Amino acid sequence: MRARLPHTALLGEWLLLLTFALLYAATLDTGLQPYELHGGDLITHQYAQVQARPSNAPGYPLYTMGGWLWFHGWRSLLRLGGGLPNPMPILSSYSTVWALFSLWLLMRIVRRLTRTPDQPQGNWPLALLLTAFYGVTYFFWYYATTTEQYSSAIAHTLAILYLYLCWREQTQRLSLLYALAFLCGLSLAHMLTVALIVPGLVAVVLVQAPWMLRRPRIVITAAAAAALPLVSYAYVYLRGAHHPEWWGAGDWPSPQAWFWSFVSTAQGREELLWAFEPGRPFSANGFPELIWQELSIPLLLLGLVGILGFDRRLRFLLVSTLLFYLGFCWAYRFGNWFQVILPAYPLILLGIVPPVERWRAWVVRRAGPDRRSFLAAAPPVLLGLALVWRVDQSLPRADSRHRPEDTALTRAAQLLAEPLPAHAGLFAPVNDALALAYLIQIWQIRPDLAVVSSAQATDVLAAGRPLFATWEAVPTLYAEMPQGDLLAVQGFGAEWVQLAAPAQLTADTALSGATNTTSLLVTPGLSLTGYTAQPAPGGAPANAGASPDLDVTLFWRVASGVWPAELAASVRPLRDGSSLLDASGSPIQQDRTRPVHGLWRDLAEPQAVLIADGYRLPRSRSAQELLVIVYTSGADGFHNLAEIRLPVPQPQ
């Protein structure tokens, strides 16, 4: 009869898991660095789990479908409170669930390995300490709080080991064998490197139960259980066939051709070739120094030597797996070698169990009563000190919450804060385009908008939809669109420019956004008819704050549609009658020889036109007035034609 778990052990396990749940929740990823939007597992998994699209090859079908359910379930609940929740903590918490499962499995494995007649529930304090130490190693902690699949691969590996330990005590229980076969086959539909534990596992299973090979029904059923996870690739094919825009770079004549190229990880197999630089040392990528920096040299050596203290079969399984990991690291030291050192850490830490247990037995047998408590406490105290050291080393780097460098979405959030019309197409430089796509598709901020390429921009205009570009990107559109030379521009806020045929940009539409109207004649044919002045939008939604900048739009009416070539405008924020200063102590001002960031194109047919000319004045939110100077410049210097003071509306 199986002994019941003592309440103290049960309470300890749950308290440890709760502690790590709170720790990981407090350090969950909340933002993105600019480089992360350009690719990699983190951003790939976010799009996959939000859109139910295949992840990076071979697709991680079951993991992705689980992430899709997790994300949309939690986001629906959080939306009940109103607003749009930050998707990153939700997505990252999916990794946390797998990390907590990994820690639970590690505790159970240590307890099972330390069970004795006088200790039927195992050495649970040792299980808690080893698990706690592993939980705060930097790599594990980081991947438990970010959108990566590695914590699930660790749980997968430990589940295989735990199920094997259960099976070897009950070799006649075929349900455990089939479950073990299923978990092994699951690696083919998950992270492929998990399969590196399978050769050693098959060997020890067959050594312990060779009679299974003489029973074809068992072999066939186990093989079927191992192949069952492959059915999940139907999801990859069906989703990919319906969304060819997800296929990425390459030219495939059919969905079938793309599918087989994708699931065979053609690109990944090319990256795995070690022959590019066979002499390159491990240390070029921080390996293997990272292992002893994380585990410490004493624990690493103790774990590696201690593995030899296990029984012959378990020793073979652990050593063979670690050797496969070592070979993978050597062959793949140019890329994701950490795929295997993450599950290697708990396997190495398991090697600490035999020496600690031998020490405990020696203390019980040999140490005198006066020294027994002191000597028995030595391993827990040393592990506790190692735990404190590891927390101190890992926390500054593993804390992914509100990092100062998470600036990838700041500008894109400001761009989307403008009142863009529904179903508009947006064109922007690469960094801005990636950030806009993320906020639109993942965060669901203005999902009616779409980021477009220059080729798609032509289709947007043909469909009668509005087209906007950031002012820096307008020259690119002019060069890449066939009708670029025929397009007119109009300012829209501080950063956007609308592009359309001249007849589609009506003058009075722009003025409808003016909150302050005026009628000041600057020179014959040119007048200032209105303006807006308001605080610039804040930063990224994850940590939005008040912007110190001021957004200003001036509305010029030009009688002939032609901006006078000799005129320029300067906008300067004032406070108490004096110019505001920038960080270097110079007056803040913006000068333009032509409106709309210098992009205004004169109309071919003379007609009255209204020009919206947007400015973002840095560090000018406290301005009380705007000084607008219209001037000419020539060989004899500058000549002011008009100096216009405009009050800045103050918040009530």
Residue 271 has pLDDT above 70, yes or no: no
- Is it true that domain 506-652 has CATH number 2.60.34? no
Q: Which amino acid is at 12?
A: G
Average pLDDT value for residue range 435-443: 96
Q: Are strands 425-427 and 467-470 parallel, antiparallel or unpaired?
A: parallel
Average pLDDT value for residue range 333-360: 87
Average pLDDT value for residue range 76-94: 92
Three-state DSSP state, 110: helix
pTM for the structure as a whole: 0.90
What pLDDT is recorded for position 276? 38
Q: How confident is the model at residue 171 (pLDDT cuts 50, 70, 90)?
A: confident
Residue 514 has pLDDT above 70, yes or no: no
Average pLDDT value for residue range 370-392: 89
Three-state DSSP state, 317: helix
What pLDDT is recorded for position 92? 97
Residue 325 has pLDDT above 80, yes or no: yes
Contact yes or no for 400/29 (Cβ under 8 A): yes
Stretch among 15-19, 22-26, 144-148, 631-635 having the lowest mean pLDDT: 631-635
What pLDDT is recorded for position 202? 96
Residue 576 has pLDDT above 90, yes or no: yes
What pLDDT is recorded for position 272? 45
Average pLDDT value for residue range 30-40: 91
pLDDT digits (tens, 9 = 90+) for 234-256: 999 999 999 998 888 778 899 99
Domain ranges of the chain: 276-366, 409-503, 506-652
The separation between CA 69 and the C-alpha centre of its own chain, rounded to angstroms, equals 18
Stretch among 38-47, 160-169, 458-467, 633-642 having the lowest mean pLDDT: 633-642
Distance CA 453, CA 597 (A): 22
The listed CATH number (1.10.10, 3.40.1350, 3.40.190, 1.10.238) that belongs to domain 409-503:
3.40.190
Distance CA 612, CA 591 (A): 15
Residue 9 has pLDDT above 90, yes or no: no
Residue 265 has pLDDT above 90, yes or no: no
Render 505-527 in DSSP notation, one character per residue.
S-HHHHHTT-SEEEEEEEETTEE
Contact yes or no for 522/555 (Cβ under 8 A): no
